[in-house]
Structure 1
Amino acid sequence: MAAYILRRLVSTVAVMAMVGMFVFLLLRLAPGDPAAIIAGKSATAEMIAGIREQLGLNEPMPVQFIRWVRDMLGGDFGTSIFAGRPVLELISQRLEPTLSLTVLTMIVSVTIGVSFGILAAWRAGGLVDRILTAFATLGFSLPVFVVGYFLIYFFAITTHWLPVQGYKPIDQGFGPWFVHLILPIVTLSIPYIAFIARIARASMLEVLSEDYMRTAVAKGASSYAMLFHHALKNAGVPILTVIGLSFAGLISGVVITETVFNIPGIGRLVVDAINGRDYPIIQGVLILVSGLYVLINLTVDLSYTLIDPRIRY
């Protein structure tokens, strides 16, 4: 087990090193002079020189990289070009909306998606299975922004049941906080519920067809014991894999959803930074998001060993 964990940690460090190199080169190797791009068309030579000095672009590339890595490890993600404030401070101010939306979306997606997959596999070929399969196909095919605008039109504009857009911090009350997140969560959850349900159904069907499952049925095992004690545990590795992969799509989905519902989260911060060509913010968000994604994948890989001990060796 210790050797397996060590191998995974080494590979995680290697992946983060490659990500860091890519993010660093993203600015330095972009076509044109990054300082001139940031300064704009009407900038003077002095303004461009000042930006180059601020970003450290006048130094040799290896020196820039070493200083950049050192600053990142020390918690210094640079200063926003246009806001003039530390990047980490700007990200921390936008963290609560994105974290709330992401965590609640994953809880809803995993709970409903796995439940739908188990139910569809249990009633394979029946009406319930066909309905859930049709929902999974439709939900996985619809773009997030289409679902979002439809929900806004029906639940906010037509019926006035829920707010159209915006976000309320949780310190202003649990009710307003949750009500403003209902539509974004539903919008973002639908494709991941469908994705997880399809994989859970396929994995459960494969396990339910095994000889030891037929033996359990012949011995009189209850449906609950057969589904949750035997089948779900053995089908857990593919399900955990798809849950981990869902986080990759969730990152892009959050950007679109926050834009549609006017949520001031990290996704909106990235969009504004891209429009304003604020490279320090883009680099800082890429590093943090990549690190979080790699950490989630590491957690998923380590959790495999709890389900299937053979993976340790």
Structure 2
Amino acid sequence: MALYVLRRLVSTIAVMAMVGIFIFLLLRLAPGDPAAIIAGDTATPEMIANIREKLGLNEPLPVQFAHWAHSILSGNLGISIFTGRPVLELISQRLEPTISLAILTMILSVTIGVTFGILAAWRAGGLVDRTLTALATLGFSVPVFVVGFFLIYFFAIRTRWLPVQGYQPIDHGFGPWLVQLILPTMTLALVYVALIARMTRASMLEVLSEDYMRTAAAKGVSSYSMLFHHALKNAGVPILTVIGLSFAYLISGVVITETVFNIPGVGRLVVDAINNRDYPVIQGVLILASGMYVLINLAVDLAYTLIDPRIRY
């Protein structure tokens, strides 16, 4: 088990190193001069040259990367070009909305998705299975922003049951915090409910067709015990994989939903930084998002050993 964990940690470090190199080169080699954007349309060449010198953009790429990597390893994500504030401070101020939205979405998606997948597998080929499969296909087919605008129109404009946009911090009260997140959570959850439900159904069907499951049914084991105590555990690895990947993607992929519902999260911060060519902010957000993605995948890999001990060896 210790060797398995060590291998996973070493591969995680290697992946993060490659991600860091890719992020650095992607932004540095992209067209456009951030110094010219900062200086403005009326800037002189001398002003642009001074800004490039101040930002260290005149140095060779290896030197720029060495300075950047040293800062990252020291816990310093840099200073925003436009606001002059530490990048880590800007990100920390935007983390709560994004994390809140991701956690609520995954709770709803896992609860509904796994339940729907089990029911579809239990009644494979029947009306329940066909209905849930159709709903899952619909969830994949409709773009997130379309779902968001539809929910806003029905629940916020027509019925006025829920607020249209915005966000309330949780320290302002659990009720206002939850109410503000209901619509964006429902918007995002539609896609992930469909994904988790389809994976759960496929994995459960494979397990339910095994000989030991038919033997258990012949011995009179109840349907509940077969589904939840035997089949679900043995089908857990692929289900856990898709849940982990979904959560990792949610952390870094809620830009559209945050824009539609005017949520001041990390996604909105990235959009603003890209428009301003604010290198430190873009790099800081990308490296943190990549790190969380890799760590979530590491946690999922380690959780496999709890479901299937054979993976340890």
TM-score by length of 2: 0.96
More displaced 10-residue stretch of structure 1: 260-269 or 276-285:
276-285
Matched, 1:307 2:307: yes
Amino acid at match of 2:104: L
Partner residue, 1:297: 297
Aligned to 1:16: 16
In the TM superposition, residue 212 of structure 1 has moved relative to its aligned partner by 0.5
Q: CA deviation at 1:141?
A: 1.0
**Secondary structure in structure 2 of the residue aligned to 1:83:** coil
What pairs up with 1:1-313 in 2 under 5 angstroms? 1-251=1-251, 253-313=253-313
How far apart, CA to CA, are the structure 2 residues paired with 1:133 and 1:190? 13
In 2, Cα distance between the equivalents of 1:264 and 1:294? 24
Shift of 1:64: 1.8
More moved, 46-55 vs 172-181: 46-55
In the aligned structure 2, how far is the partner of 1:267 from the partner of 1:28?
21
Counterpart contact for 2:80–2:86, Cα < 8 Å: yes
CA displacement, residues 34-93 of structure 1 (integer Å, 9 cap, x when unaligned)? 423443443222332233233222223222212111111112111111111111111111
- For residues 253 and 17 of structure 1, the distance between their equivalents in structure 2, rounded to whole angstroms, comes to 21
Cα contact 1:38–1:278 (8 A) shared by 2: no
Unpaired runs of 5+ residues, structure 1, are: none
- Give, in whole Å, the separation in 1 of the partners of 2:303 and 2:109: 19
SS, match of residue 27 in structure 2: helix
CA distance in structure 2 between the partners assigned to 1:54 and 1:85 by the alignment: 16
CA deviation after TM superposition for structure 1 residue 249, in Å: 4.0
Provide the C-alpha distance between the structure 1 equivalents of 2:219 and 2:51, rounded to a whole number of angstroms.
Answer: 75
Give deviations 1:160-204, integer Å, cap 9, x for gaps: 000000001111111111000000000010000001000100000
> Does the 8 Å CA contact 2:248/2:292 hold for their aligned counterparts?
no
Displacement of 1:281 in angstroms is 0.8
Contact 2:27 2:279 in 1 (8 A): yes
Q: CA deviation at 1:33?
A: 3.7
Provide structure 2 residue ranges, at least 5 long, that are not aligned to the other structure.
none
User: In the TM superposition, what is the alpha-carbon distance from 1:32 to its structure 2 partner?
Assistant: 4.5
Structure 2: distance between partners of 1:95 and 1:46 = 38
Q: Which segments of structure 1 move beyond 3 Å, counting only runs of 4 or more?
A: 37-41
Letter in 2 for 1:108: L
Amino acid at match of 1:88: L
Equivalent residues, number: 313
The DSSP-based 3-state class of the residue aligned with 1:94 is helix
RMSD, matched Cα: 1.4
> What is the CA-CA distance between 1:253 and the residue it aligns to?
4.3
Question: Could you tell me how far apart the structure 2 residues matched to 1:10 and 1:297 are?
Answer: 13
- The more displaced of 69-78 and 32-41 is 32-41
d(CA) in 1 for partners of 2:233, 2:26: 42
Q: Matched residue of 1:14: which SS? A: helix
Deviation at 1:125, TM superposition (A): 1.4
CA–CA distance in structure 2, aligned partners of residues 285 and 195 of structure 1? 26
Q: Which amino acid aligns with 1:231?
A: A
1:222/1:54 CA distance change after superposition, 3 Å = farther
CA drift of 1:274 comes to 1.2
Q: What letter is aligned with 1:214? A: R
Q: Distance in 1 between matches of 2:153 and 2:252?
A: 23
